[in-house]
């Protein structure tokens, strides 16, 4: 089967949903004998590295095709122009080698595929990794754009990674819930040792309002300083984004510089070590889909505190799987962190073993990719 896939940004060494797409391509090739052309934007990242060359991976069965001119990711004007460049590139490549279907990820990538699919008349699948604006219910121009893309435009199949997406009225009737996954072997094959003299709290993802970084900072501020000092608590924010100054100002306001460290995005192998050497993972989001960072932390066998939104609600079972709190509740968050620091949580190792078993049973690569490939076969009958 020949598959055309698209994603807006492409830098999979840093993790997240780009790792999702890369591993999806690899598993489709190795397990199901597919060939994949992956269309992405040419980019100039913040470190000024330019990515504009095509690549051949997986014994030439995965081709990375970079389109348009290299600009920074957050350049809105360039992102819009790249939509048409990618669509034209897809149509051109299709004339050379016909694709069986199109699988789109991320919003602007979707528009490129939709334009191309109109001309090529082949099935289009869209995986929805998040719907932050819909979940916030904040009426704005971008809210209505997201709503139209998610629920008004017709696709052959929508794949959602969390069940609460189904509450929205949707013109698409073929919607399947297929969760994200993690490569467990990446965590088993890394040698790492925890520093027993430090209690390390980890956050991984974008520094922005939806992720609730301010809630985490406020929670740390509520914990007694003597507890933080005596336990040698460190909070590492491994991130990328554009609101760093806002949160650094908040850290300075509360005099937390000795406890909270801002760290720029790191390569995947080093990120795995960060999980394995941490004592706690916190994701205090205001809105979520299914963020792979949570199951990455579960795979590393560390406690996870998440908020009651998106995918975390799908698997919570009487606090057996992990600690689920209400959104924007810095007081409750500080209480749980304090209890964990002071070893006041009963059966914590049993809880950790339970969620690791959950990952092994439900969120492995082979299990999820088989589900996606089955949907490909249905669309190509």
pLDDT-based confidence at residue 67 (cuts at 50, 70, 90): very high
Enter the pTM of the model. Answer: 0.84
- Catalogue all structural domains in the chain, each as residue range(s) with its CATH number: 2-181+364-379 (3.40.50.2000), 184-361 (3.40.50.2000)
Average pLDDT value over all residues in the chain: 87
pLDDT at 346 over 90: no
Instruction: Kindly report, residue by residue over 222-260, the tens digit of the pLDDT.
Output: 999 999 999 999 999 998 777 889 999 999 999 999 999
Q: Please tell me the least confidently modeled range out of 31-35, 43-47, 70-74, 254-258.
A: 43-47
Q: CA–CA separation, 49 vs 44, rounded Å?
A: 6
Question: Nearest-CA neighbor of 111 among 69, 140, 148, 137?
Answer: 148
User: What integer pLDDT is reported at residue 227 of this predicted model?
Assistant: 96
What is the DSSP annotation of 206-239? EESGGGTHHHHHHHHHHS-HHHHHHTTEEEEEEE
To the nearest whole percent, how much of the chain has pLDDT over 90? 46
Distance between terminal CA atoms of the chain?
12
**Phi–psi pair at 108, nearest 5 degrees:** -70, -30
Rounded CA Rg of the chain: 21
Q: What is the dihedral of CA 318, 307, 205, 126, to 10 degrees?
A: 80
Judge contact between 211 and 285, C-beta under 8 A. Answer: yes
User: What integer pLDDT is reported at residue 249 of this predicted model?
Assistant: 96
User: What integer pLDDT is reported at residue 318 of this predicted model?
Assistant: 44
Instruction: Kindly report, residue by residue over 92-130, the tens digit of the pLDDT.
Output: 999 888 999 999 987 766 677 788 888 898 999 999 887
User: What integer pLDDT is reported at residue 309 of this predicted model?
Assistant: 79
Q: Please tell me the least confidently modeled range out of 39-43, 247-251, 255-259, 306-310.
A: 306-310
3-state secondary structure of 373: helix
User: What integer pLDDT is reported at residue 374 of this predicted model?
Assistant: 97
Instruction: Kindly report, residue by residue over 180-228, the tens digit of the pLDDT.
Output: 788 888 898 888 888 889 999 999 988 888 899 999 999 999 999 999 9
Q: CA–CA separation, 201 vs 317, rounded Å?
A: 24
Buried b (16+ CB within 10 A) or exposed e, 206-219: ebbebbbbbbbbbb
Contacts of 186 (CB under 8 A, 6+ apart): 268, 269, 272
């Amino acid at each position: 089967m020949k598959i055309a896939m698209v994603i807006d940004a492409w830098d999979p060494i840093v993790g997240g949903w780009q790792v999702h797409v890369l591993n999806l391509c690899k598993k489709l090739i190795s397990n199901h004998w597919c060939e994949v052309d992956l269309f992405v934007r040419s980019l100039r990242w913040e470190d000024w590295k330019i990515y504009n060359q095509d690549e051949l991976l997986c014994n030439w069965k995965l081709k990375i095709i970079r389109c348009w001119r290299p600009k920074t990711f957050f350049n809105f004007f360039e992102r819009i122009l790249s939509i048409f460049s990618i669509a034209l590139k897809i149509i051109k490549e299709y004339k050379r080698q016909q694709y069986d279907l199109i699988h789109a990820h991320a919003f602007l990538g979707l528009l490129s595929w939709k334009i191309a699919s109109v001309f090529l008349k082949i099935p289009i699948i869209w995986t929805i990794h998040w719907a932050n604006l819909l979940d916030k219910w904040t009426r704005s121009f971008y809210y209505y754009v997201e709503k139209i893309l998610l629920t008004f435009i017709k696709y052959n199949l929508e794949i959602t990674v969390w069940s609460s997406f189904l509450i929205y009225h949707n013109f698409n009737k073929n919607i399947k819930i297929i969760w994200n996954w993690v490569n467990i072997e990446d965590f088993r094959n890394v040698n790492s040792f925890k520093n027993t003299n430090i209690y390390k709290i980890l956050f991984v993802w974008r520094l922005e309002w939806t992720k609730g970084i301010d809630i985490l900072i406020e929670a740390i501020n509520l914990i007694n300083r003597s507890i933080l000092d005596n336990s040698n608590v460190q909070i590492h924010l491994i991130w990328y984004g554009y609101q760093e100054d806002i949160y650094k100002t908040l850290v300075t306001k509360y005099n937390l510089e000795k406890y909270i460290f801002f760290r720029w995005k790191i390569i995947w192998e080093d990120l795995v070590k960060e999980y394995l050497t941490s004592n706690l993972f916190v994701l205090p989001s205001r809105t979520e889909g299914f963020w792979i960072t949570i199951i990455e932390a579960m795979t590393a066998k560390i406690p996870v505190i998440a908020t009651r939104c998106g995918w975390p609600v799908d698997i919570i079972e009487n606090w057996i799987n992990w600690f689920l709190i209400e959104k924007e509740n810095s007081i409750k968050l500080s209480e749980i962190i304090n209890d964990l620091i002071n070893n006041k949580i009963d059966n914590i190792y049993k809880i950790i073993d339970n969620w690791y078993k959950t990952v092994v049973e439900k969120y492995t690569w082979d299990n999820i990719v088989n589900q996606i490939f089955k949907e490909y076969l249905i669309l190509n009958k």
